[in-house]
Amino acid sequence: MKIVVAYKWAFNPQDATVDSGGTVTWGRAKAGVSEYDPVAVELGRRLADATGAELIGVSVGGADTASPMATKSALSRGFDRVVVVADDALAGASTTQTALVLAQVIAHIGDVDLVLTGDSSVDVGAQMVPAVLAGALGWPSVMNVTTVSVGAGDLRVERAHEGGSQVLAVTGPVVLAAASDAVVPRVPGMKDILAAGKRPVEKVDLAALATGPSASSVAGVSTSRPELKSRGGRVLAGADVDAVVAELVAALRATNVI
Amino acid sequence: MPSTYILVAGDARIGNLVAAAAGTRITAVVVGTRAVADAVAASAVATVVWLGEPGENALEAFAGPVADVVAAAAPQLVLASTRPSDRVLAGAVAARLGAPVSTMVSEVVVSGDGAQVTRGVYGGIAQEVVAVTGTAVVILDGGASGTGGDAPVEEVAAVPAGVVVVENRPAARTQVDLGRAQRIVSVGRGLKSQDDVAMVEALAAALDAETACSRPLAEGVSWFTKDRYVGITGQHVSPDLYLALGISGQLQHAVGARGAGTIVAVNTDKDCPYFKEADYCIVGDLYDVVPALTRALT
């Protein structure tokens, strides 16, 4: 059995700056394994340990996705090996582009039974890559997954559903997006980090993958800073908390908010 | 007339999607029971394509057949709600058509050969307008149920993938709909203990408000249920009053409440990011401010 976890090497937008024209610059922002991906790795590691499966990390992105820092950081989370497509043509790739290339890499690995992803990426947060990836593979997909185990001839999947949950029986390969709180990921220790340096990293050339023609195209028209409501920004401070609160209540009442 | 396909998985609340598709011919593709298909047909859509009774199959198992239906039509616009199963359908369609997917969308203008989409990028720190030629897939909040329609329902046979529901564990409580709340008292990491949630609830009661939280309190420690989490991947709210207690105002949270009429932020740190986009900034400890505010209001 082969289990793939698709992960992203990404910046946190909190560290970016946006100029008045809406251009985003990452400046001194530091990239990392995207915030919720370690949850998917942990879920995959536990399932791989329980079933004797191989756990493979897959990532596609800009050239830095293949940097030793990036691959070691990913491997230290618990992968047996990683396969990356690192090409600056994929820096800032769209959801669909990312998912289509991921599907090609998964086909390249071959005989994959299960693909896990995190809930969302820290930078884009669209929560769409697993669904598009499944579509490209011709597999079903399920979001908000909390547990995965191997049943008799199928995969048993529990997912959060309308405040409760559902248990699903899945036959055939599937893409599962882990709920962000499905499991608590382990924190890599020194031993994991040292072992990570010895595990295999396969770099796949983007040009070697057959990405089919697309019926749609996207052209940028303009960028801007989001129009935020103009806010009062009135600072209320003072040693007497009751006076501060009274000032707030009076202001809210004067503007009919309460 | 340009054509829009709205994808529906088991929940007929698509009012916002119908509104976004104004001026186009709308076909709804419905996965779910006949009752859901009929409810969708009562929205202002032209036609409903229904994939038949799902029985024990999970709704996601119909993503492939949905993609078949939409790909054959190659519409200018495909809309789906942010609900998890609906996103699965939209993903299958996007993959089949190689179509771009847009989220955090504020405006869609459809023309003969495509759509112009205004959307937030990188969690909303910037905004861009893109022109999509071919099919644009757009994910929006579903909104309320649509009305004013009586569309014919056409059944199409579908072969689902192998995903079967073997057990349902329904919610032990009703889900709260923060999107409709007029006042919200929201709390973040400034809250030190689960025992102190009662103090926040007392203030919410005095304000006739719903309680909400930032992500760590719903997913890190589970002091609040997930339907009360406001943020980029959680609820997007637009109350008249949003009171943010002990929330620093990181982008991932703030973006979920930017639609609020009035924002009051309470924080011990006078330099916290929330003070840059609040109407009232109270520099103080929520443990002092919350009881004082509750007293002042009761």
Q: Distance (Å, rounded) from C-alpha B264 to C-alpha B247?
A: 11
Residue A59 host element (H or E): strand A54-61
Residue B238 sits at the chain A interface (C-beta within 8 Å): no
Residues B203-216 as b or e (16 or more Cβ within 10 Å = b): bbebbebbbbbbbe
Residue B88 sits at the chain A interface (C-beta within 8 Å): yes
Q: Is B7 annotated as a binding residue?
A: no
Superfamily classification of domain B178-297: TPP-binding domain (3.40.50.1220)
Residues B223, B226, B231, B237: is their CA dihedral positive or negative?
Answer: negative
Which candidate from A120, A172, A237 shows the least CB-CB separation from B283?
A: A237
Q: How close is the nearest chain B Cα to the Cα of A199, in Å?
A: 31
Q: How close is the nearest chain A Cα to the Cα of B187, in Å?
A: 17
Instruction: Please identify among residues 10-49 of chain B the ones whose CB lies closer than 8 Å to any CB of chain A.
Output: none
ipTM for this model = 0.93
What would the pLDDT profile of A33-47 be if each residue is shown by its tens digit? 999 999 999 999 999
Q: Give strand pairing partners of B167.
A: A167
**CA Rg, chain B, in Å?**
21
What pLDDT score was predicted for residue A16?
86
Q: Which amino acid is at B140?
A: L
In this structure, what CATH number is given to the domain that contains residue A189? 3.40.50.620
| Number of A–B residue contacts, CB under 8 Å | 299
- Contacts of A205-212 spanning 24+ positions with Cβ under 8 A: A205/A85, A205/A87, A206/A85, A206/A87, A206/A89, A206/A90, A206/A101, A209/A85, A209/A101, A209/A104, A209/A105, A209/A108, A210/A104, A211/A100, A211/A101, A211/A104, A212/A100, A212/B98
**In chain B, what residues touch A224 (CB-CB under 8 Å)?**
126-129
What pLDDT score was predicted for residue A215?
66
Q: Distance (Å, rounded) from C-alpha A223 to C-alpha B126?
A: 7
Residue A177 host element (H or E): strand A174-178
**In chain A, what residues touch B170 (CB-CB under 8 Å)?**
162-164
CATH topology of domain B3-155: Rossmann fold (3.40.50)
Give the total number of structural domains in chain A: 1
Residue A213: pLDDT band with limits 50, 70, 90: low
What pLDDT score was predicted for residue B64?
98
Residue B11: pLDDT band with limits 50, 70, 90: very high
- pLDDT higher than threshold 80 for residue A227: no
**In chain A, what residues touch B107 (CB-CB under 8 Å)?**
none
**In chain A, what residues touch B282 (CB-CB under 8 Å)?**
236-237, 244-245, 248
What pLDDT score was predicted for residue A83?
98
- pLDDT higher than threshold 80 for residue A211: no
Residue A212: left if φ>0, alpha if ψ -120 to 50, beta else—which one?
beta
- Is B90's CB within 8 Å of A219's CB? no
What is chain B's length? 298
Which candidate from A99, A165, A228 shows the least CB-CB separation from B258?
A: A228
**In chain B, what residues touch A221 (CB-CB under 8 Å)?**
116, 128-131
Q: How close is the nearest chain B Cα to the Cα of A197, in Å?
A: 31
Q: Distance (Å, rounded) from C-alpha A104 to C-alpha A106?
A: 5
Residue B126 sits at the chain A interface (C-beta within 8 Å): yes
Q: How close is the nearest chain A Cα to the Cα of B241, in Å?
A: 7
Residue with tokens 């942010």: B82
Nearest to B40 by CA among B63, B71, B9: B9
**In chain B, what residues touch A140 (CB-CB under 8 Å)?**
58, 60-61, 63-64, 88, 161-163
What would the pLDDT profile of B74-87 be if each residue is shown by its tens digit? 999 999 999 999 99
The domains of chain B are located at 3-155, 178-297
Residue A241 lies in a domain: no
Q: How close is the nearest chain A Cα to the Cα of B12, in Å?
A: 14
What would the pLDDT profile of B166-212 be if each residue is shown by its tens digit? 999 998 888 888 988 999 999 999 999 999 999 999 999 999 999 99
The tally of CA atoms less than 13 A away on the side-chain side of residue B271 is 0
Which candidate from A22, A123, A136 shows the least CB-CB separation from B95?
A: A136
**In chain A, what residues touch B168 (CB-CB under 8 Å)?**
161, 164, 166
For A31-55, the DSSP string reads -EE-TTHHHHHHHHHHHHHHHT-EE
Contacts of residue B116, defined as CB under 8 A and 6 or more positions apart, other chains included, come to: A221, B108, B109, B129, B130, B131, B132
DSSP code of A9?
E
Which strand ranges, in their side-by-side order, compose the sheet holding A234-236? A234-236, B280-283, B262-267, B241-245, B183-187, B210-213
For chain B, the DSSP string reads --EEEEEEES----HHHHHHTTTSEEEEEEES-HHHHHHHHTSS-SEEEE----TTB-GGGGHHHHHHHHHHH--SEEEEESSHHHHHHHHHHHHHHT--EE-SEEEEEEETTEEEEEEEEGGGTEEEEEEEES-EEEEE---S---S----EEE------SEEEEEEE--SSPPP-GGG-SEEEEE-TT---GGGHHHHHHHHHHHT-EEEE-HIIIIIS-SS-GGGBBSTTSB----SEEEEES----HHHHGGGTT-SEEEEEES-TT-GGGGS-SEEEES-HHHHHHHHHHHH-
Q: What are the structure tokens assigned to A84, written together?
A: 């990356």
- Is A172's CB within 8 Å of B162's CB? yes
> Averaged over A204-209, what is the pLDDT?
94
Residue A172 lies in a domain: yes
Q: How close is the nearest chain A Cα to the Cα of B91, in Å?
A: 4
Which strand ranges, in their side-by-side order, compose the sheet holding B25-31? B101-102, B136-140, B77-81, B3-9, B25-31, B47-50, B153-155
Mean pLDDT value across chain A: 94
Range of the domain at A32: 2-208
- Within 10 Å of residue B175's Cβ, how many Cβ atoms? 13
Residue B275 sits at the chain A interface (C-beta within 8 Å): yes
Q: What are the structure tokens assigned to A232, written together?
A: 């009062």
Answer whether A101's CB lies under 8 Å from A209's CB. yes
Which candidate from A160, A216, A249 shows the least CB-CB separation from B297?
A: A249
Strands A155-161 and A164-170: antiparallel
Residue A218 lies in a domain: no
- pLDDT higher than threshold 80 for residue A214: no
- Is A231's CB within 8 Å of B278's CB? yes
- Is B84's CB within 8 Å of A236's CB? no
- Identical fold, B3-155 and B178-297: yes
Q: Which of B62, B70, B81, B87 to mutate to test the interface with A (most CBs of A within 10 A)?
A: B87
**In chain B, what residues touch A164 (CB-CB under 8 Å)?**
168-172
Residue B221 sits at the chain A interface (C-beta within 8 Å): no
Residue A83 host element (H or E): strand A81-86
Answer whether B241's CB lies under 8 Å from B264's CB. yes
What would the pLDDT profile of B274-296 be if each residue is shown by its tens digit? 999 999 999 999 999 999 999 99
